[in-house]
Amino acid sequence: MPSSNTDKICETVCSEHHTDSSGKVDPLVMGKAQKMGEFFNVLSDPTRLRLISLLAEEEFCVCDLAAKLEMTDSAISHQLRALRAARLVSYRKVGRQVFYRLHDQHVVDLYRTVHEHLEE
């Protein structure tokens, strides 16, 4: 049965607002929450996570990534574009060849933290 707006969330009446040690009680602002949601949405794709797992170790060109993941160069390039748009990967050109790597140490740390968390 749907609850009405007059239903209490809990039966306990709080005598004080719950705050953290800094005294803040505000939730994440909507704009920041939206950006974070979009960021995590980019990470929700298994192929992109597999690319990140490889790039966490070293840089690769598209053809090597395609060979390792048994996908076409075009499919890998499509996924890399999404990762670049989210500033998760960057690249460098050597002649006509393009090498991709994770954008910075924060991305490496994020990947490794989630990986370790799931291993627990």
pLDDT tens-place string over residues 36-67:
999 999 999 999 999 999 999 999 999 999 99
C-alpha of 33 from chain center: 13
Domain residues of the chain, as ranges?
Answer: 30-119
11 pLDDT tier (thresholds 50, 70, 90):
confident
Q: Is 30-119 CATH 1.10.10.10?
A: yes
pLDDT of 24 > 90? The answer is no
86 pLDDT tier (thresholds 50, 70, 90):
very high
HEC-encoded secondary structure of 29-51: CHHHHHHHHHHHHHCCCHHHHHH
pLDDT of 33 > 70? The answer is yes
The token pair that represents 68 in the structure block: 């390792």
**Distance between CA atoms of residues 74 and 79, nearest Å:** 9
116 Cβ contact partners less than 8 Å away, ≥ 6 residues apart: none
pTM recorded for the entire structure: 0.76
Q: Residue 61: phi, psi to the nearest 5?
A: -90, 165
